[in-house]
Structure 1
Amino acid sequence: MKKLHKKIKLYLRQFRLFLGRLILDKKPSRKWEQKNLSNCKILFIRHDGKIGDFILSSFVYREIKKQYPNIHIGVVAASETEALFRSDPYIDSIYVVPKRALVPFWQVGRQVAKENYDVIFDLTEALRNRDIVLIRSANSAINIGYNQRHLKLFNFNVAVNNEHITLDYEKALIMLGLKNINRYFSFPNIPVRNELRDFCQKHLSNSYIAINFFGAAKHRQFSSKRQQEWLAKLKEAYPDKTILVLTYPKVTQELKSSLPKDQYLMYENTQTIFDTIELIRNAYKVITPDTSIVHIASAFNKPIIAFYMAANSSIPYNKWMPMNADNASIYYYQNNINEIQLETIKLN
């Protein structure tokens, strides 16, 4: 019965997409009037709310401003990542989508249209009808997409591939005429609370291992038993290093009640991703099943032990791999991360 329900749901989704494209997909009505990029306005559609995506694409705004300081850069963001985008000094305007639904997307599109953006970037792999409504409503002259050659709405297209996502953004920038692009991302203006700074100076002045037990999906979360096994393994492998357990408000109490108190350190007042970034900054090594933390660690060029779901580990999906792949150990699982046996993991 569940399989039948999924099939029906998939069919209805595909039908809605087909119908939406039939009605909504039109060529841009505006013409590209700029002879160069120096004074144009560029909008990035980044409403996915994913922290890892923000980190990986953050180099784009810096590289545009480096070559064309007068370009105006806008971003359509979700509330989950609004603070991150506001911390970026290279972004001029932010438009927050209050809800992922067709009408709010249309409203934001109309708001953006008043600002007369010349170019829109949306490298989302799977566009929904609300995305098409937003882009059409924004009424730019140039729309750059990923694997959207079949849509009239996009007049520039990055071909489908299995390369790192930063290469897709690089290709899109080259289409506009940018050159010598540095794809490495950074955190130019991350706020650090005084309380956290004091904690780091007091407890993390010596070498430490940062470990995160939770990913966004359930299959990416280590069980309580595995968490305890990890702490024991790390204590044995690194007897002279502090083990810092990364947390966030939803799981802090769960971790405190299940983990042996004498085997780890935790900043219990972790509130935002800004706190996590600062806690990772000086770590000796980072262990995580969560890709946002993978990319934070990668930005600091930290040695990483990461975990990815893959039906065939010999042909992995490379879009979201760490940038410093030479400094990372990747372990794959098929259905649930707890399938992985800790004795198979090399820590050194």
Structure 2
Amino acid sequence: MLFFSHDGKLGDAVVITAFVAGLRAHAPGCEIHATVAGVTATFWARDARLRTLWSLARRGWGVVLKTGLALRRERFDFIVTWRPMRSEKNRLLLWLARPGRVVDLAEFHRAAPAHRIEACREALRQFGVPCDGELAYDVVKARGAGIGAAPASGDAPDFNSNSANADIVLVNLFAADPERTIDATAGVALLAGLRRVAPEAALRLVCHGATAAAARAVLARSDSGASLLDCEGGLERLFDACARASLVVSPDTALIHLASAFDTPVIGIYQNDGIKAREWGPRSRAHAVVLAPGADSVAGFSVEAVLRHALALRARQPACLAPVPSAQPISPR
């Protein structure tokens, strides 16, 4: 079988690991392939459960035609596309591949919003895999550079990376679009507040090449003693950070799902549109969600709400905290 993962979205790939794990557990002899591009090529290359990765990094018509014909020669029994095929090139790719069956998730997408991991459950159901229990992400953590390795930016680590018990608070402000990106003023307040909440923790601000300058500007204003974790070209460093952190704070990005994959306590900041937090919310046992006042962006979210959740999660509250709009006062449970 083959599934599509050439959208270049790391968060989506993390979610799909629940499907891969379920399928492999039920049918260990199943040959699993994936289409990949960008960061998903790096992500799936580290997963030995997949036999072949079909690169679509360059998606010209000629590449799509050549790849589609190559896929047809494989005679796939199943192809999972995950989303409706709106792109002409994706539709051509699927038509050329001619699988025995396309796993159809149309009913799932027409139903009321549900967490995206439920799409994995529906796909598994169509494969005949019993999955009535709780699904979970299953990210393979390869050996590689950890957060103690020298960052590409030259920013030095501010904690003993060899200590398994290091108290690391990981913060992300940046998303692929401005609607989900936390603005500099809120970022400064968030870092300063987290330093008060966790005065002894190693506070790290995640960035990559394109956001490093903006991240440094926030650090300079926050006076929080935080340092950068530049993950440009270092996916393993990001995975290691999410696995070992005591808390992750981020808007709706792949960090939410990576933290969930390692069951790291996580606070997600979402648009208040009734959909995003439901479909892409955190899955860690200890988690909280803060909703911005508006449906169109995370602007205006309550830093105080995040800090109160951080206090509760760091106190190892056993129960997850329900999503609370930023306009409402929040008390730790």
Give the equivalent residue in structure 1 for 2:215.
Answer: 255
Distance in 1 of aligned mates of 2:216 and 2:195: 18
Report deviation, 1:308.
Answer: 1.5
Give the equivalent residue in structure 2 for 1:173.
Answer: 124
Query: Where has structure 1 moved over 4 Å in runs of 4 or more?
Result: 197-201
Report deviation, 1:130.
Answer: 1.7
Give the equivalent residue in structure 1 for 2:316.
Answer: none
Q: For each residue in 1:244-278, what CA deviation from the matched residue of structure 2 results, as whole angstroms up to 9, or x when unmatched?
A: 11121222233224423662022346533322111
Residue 24 of structure 2 is aligned to residue 65 of structure 1: yes
Distance in 1 of aligned mates of 2:93 and 2:18: 24
Aligned residue runs from structure 1 range 259-278, under 5 A: 259-260=219-220, 263-268=225-230, 270-278=232-240
Give the % identical residues: 18
Contact 1:216 1:290 in 2 (8 A): no
Give the equivalent residue in structure 2 for 1:187.
Answer: 139
Unpaired runs of 5+ in structure 2?
151-156, 312-333
Report deviation, 1:303.
Answer: 1.9
TM-score (ref. length: structure 2): 0.80
Report deviation, 1:77.
Answer: 1.1
Give the equivalent residue in structure 2 for 1:336.
Answer: 297
Is the radius of gyration larger for structure 1 or structure 2? Answer: 1
Contact 2:147 2:241 in 1 (8 A): no
Report deviation, 1:318.
Answer: 2.1
Structure 2 letter corresponding to 1:188: V
From 103, 110, 114, the equivalent of 1:160 is: 110
Give the equivalent residue in structure 2 for 1:292.
Answer: 254
Distance in 1 of aligned mates of 2:57 and 2:265: 37
Report deviation, 1:159.
Answer: 5.7
From 39, 44, 48, the equivalent of 2:7 is: 48
Report deviation, 1:121.
Answer: 0.7
Contact 2:182 2:298 in 1 (8 A): yes
Contact 1:76 1:95 in 2 (8 A): yes
Report deviation, 1:95.
Answer: 0.4
Report deviation, 1:101.
Answer: 4.6
Equivalent residues, number: 296
Residue 44 of structure 2 is aligned to residue 80 of structure 1: no
Report deviation, 1:194.
Answer: 6.3
Give the equivalent residue in structure 1 for 2:69.
Answer: 110
Residue 243 of structure 2 is aligned to residue 281 of structure 1: yes
Distance in 1 of aligned mates of 2:192 and 2:159: 25
Give the equivalent residue in structure 1 for 2:279.
Answer: 319
Residue 79 of structure 2 is aligned to residue 128 of structure 1: no
Shift of the 85–291 alpha-carbon distance from structure 1 to 2, 3 Å rule, reads same
Distance in 2 of aligned mates of 1:257 and 1:67: 50
Which region of structure 1 is more displaced relative to structure 2, 330-339 or 75-84?
330-339
Contact 1:98 1:104 in 2 (8 A): no
From 185, 196, 220, the equivalent of 1:225 is: 185
Distance in 2 of aligned mates of 1:305 and 1:111: 43
Shift of the 307–269 alpha-carbon distance from structure 1 to 2, 3 Å rule, reads closer
